[in-house]
């Protein structure tokens, strides 16, 4: 009975998230989607538009249209364009028109509100999310151009992004794919040539592409990425992910990210399932379950929430409650429950979900808050370069699917 109730709640929340983004995110002045929305749902039409943000929007509406059979015609949706497939098409058209570099290939980092390029570097993380979004759109529509572009981006990442000497992927390049000094993904990141975050989302993107267009080259690239995690990124002791590394994989990390640890635990397993490799699954099962258990033991707060991170030197937790961490914890704990049958993971997932509903959602204006209402500030933008419908929207889809699997 609890499983059925949870599925109903996840499906209802998925519809609410879809409606909020359909109602609030469209740029009715210049096309596509606005660059930012305040915590009170005010559109910031002059805000820049980020490639990661737009790739994630493309992914979300494509997936939502596919899993809901083109989406519910919910009565509380006020936008005139209610069909999620139409919003996926809108996202795709804007993305290929403005973000794709017609000369050197790849996708630009950032546009201004008019669609003019203001950041032309080639971040490997961004290329990965472009693959992820395009693959989802292809899965929805069977559009050959979307698949062709995703495969082209895969080739560019392998050609320019792969470190031929030490393995793995480098962070960023110039528009012409030359080396650059500042490779940081964001201002808060360390300027390191290799990061866990980029490798995680390369794996995610390649898994998605392999699902719709398997090839020997793609399979080899996924296997290589998993090797990087096993040999260099995953700490052998407490089973957490090293965040920053130099060219030779020496650890530079100062933090441990609980959100990325729990996200990786289920994304790695998803890759193994898509690859259909029982041998690799056998070698990874204890690791991914151990990563989830580490988060269960070290990251959970008094209200069932998952805290953001931990300072490695002191062992002190950074006790912020961030929306995407709660979303990934929900999926990660449910995935660990499905793998093990351990009721502790199911209980943890239920507690995270209760926390989300009570503190992370905005009861007045809708959507999830960046920081929970227990944190000092819940006034951060609800949409921006790093906040879209990807984490919480995907969490509802994945959580619903996992519980369906558990019920047989």
pLDDT above 70 as % of the chain: 96
Residue 83: per-residue pLDDT:
81
Mean pLDDT computed over every residue of the chain: 95
pLDDT in tens, 145-164: 999 999 999 999 999 999 99
Section 293-314 average pLDDT: 97
pLDDT at 1 over 90: no
Residue 268: per-residue pLDDT:
99
Section 118-136 average pLDDT: 99
pLDDT in tens, 216-232: 999 999 999 999 999 99
Residue 250: per-residue pLDDT:
98
Cβ-in-10-Å burial (0-12, 13-18, 19+) of 211 comes to middle
Q: pLDDT band for 367, please (50, 70, 90 cuts).
A: very high
Q: Where are the alpha helices (DSSP H) in 173-277?
A: 196-212, 216-228, 258-275
pLDDT above 90 as % of the chain: 92
Strands of the 117-119 sheet, one edge to the other: 49-50, 110-111, 117-119
Section 366-377 average pLDDT: 91
Section 349-378 average pLDDT: 94
Instruction: Output the CA angle 385-350-23, nearest 5 degrees.
Output: 35
Section 128-138 average pLDDT: 99
Section 290-308 average pLDDT: 98
Residue 242 · residue 196 · CB < 8 Å = yes
Which domains does the chain possess? 2-406 (1.50.10.10)
pLDDT at 79 over 70: no
Higher confidence at residue 82 or residue 67? 67
pLDDT at 75 over 90: no
Q: pLDDT band for 408, please (50, 70, 90 cuts).
A: low
Among 102, 258, 262, 132, smallest CA distance to 207 is for: 132
């Amino acid at each position: 009975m609890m499983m059925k109730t949870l599925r109903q709640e996840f499906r209802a929340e998925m519809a609410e998230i879809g409606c909020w983004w359909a109602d609030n995110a469209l740029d009715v002045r210049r096309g596509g989607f606005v660059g930012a929305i305040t915590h009170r749902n005010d559109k910031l039409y002059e805000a820049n538009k980020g490639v990661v943000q737009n790739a994630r929007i493309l992914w979300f509406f494509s997936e939502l249209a596919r899993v809901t059979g083109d989406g519910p015609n919910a009565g509380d949706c006020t936008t005139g364009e209610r069909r999620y497939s139409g919003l996926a098409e809108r996202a795709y058209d804007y993305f290929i028109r403005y973000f794709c570099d017609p000369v050197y290939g790849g996708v630009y980092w950032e546009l201004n509100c008019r669609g003019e390029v203001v950041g032309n570097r080639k971040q490997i993380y961004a290329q990965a999310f472009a693959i992820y979004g395009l693959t989802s759109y292809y899965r929805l529509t069977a559009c050959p151009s979307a698949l062709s572009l995703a495969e082209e981006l895969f080739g560019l990442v392998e050609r320019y992004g792969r470190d031929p000497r030490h393995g793995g992927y480098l962070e960023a390049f110039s528009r012409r794919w030359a080396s650059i000094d500042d490779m940081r993904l964001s201002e808060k990141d360390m300027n390191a040539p290799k990061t866990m975050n980029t490798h995680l989302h390369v794996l995610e993107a390649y898994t998605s592409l392999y699902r719709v267009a398997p090839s020997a080259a793609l399979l080899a690239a996924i296997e290589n990425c998993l090797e990087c995690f096993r040999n260099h990124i995953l700490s052998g002791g407490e089973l957490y992910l090293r965040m920053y590394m130099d060219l030779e994989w020496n650890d530079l990390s100062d933090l441990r990210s609980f959100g990325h640890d729990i996200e990786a635990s289920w994304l790695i397993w998803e890759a193994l399932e898509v690859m259909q490799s029982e041998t690799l699954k056998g070698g990874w099962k204890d690791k991914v379950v151990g990563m989830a258990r580490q988060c269960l033991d070290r990251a959970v707060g008094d209200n069932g929430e998952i805290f953001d991170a931990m300072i490695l030197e002191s062992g002190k937790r950074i006790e912020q409650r961030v929306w995407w961490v709660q979303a990934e914890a929900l999926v990660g704990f449910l995935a660990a429950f499905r793998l093990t049958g351990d009721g502790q993971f199911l209980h943890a997932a239920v507690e995270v979900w209760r926390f989300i509903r009570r503190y992370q959602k905005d009861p007045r204006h809708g959507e999830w808050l960046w920081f929970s209402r227990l944190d000092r500030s819940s006034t951060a933008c609800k949409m921006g370069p790093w906040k879209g419908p990807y984490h919480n929207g995907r969490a509802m889809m994945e959580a619903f699917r996992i519980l369906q699997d558990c019920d047989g």
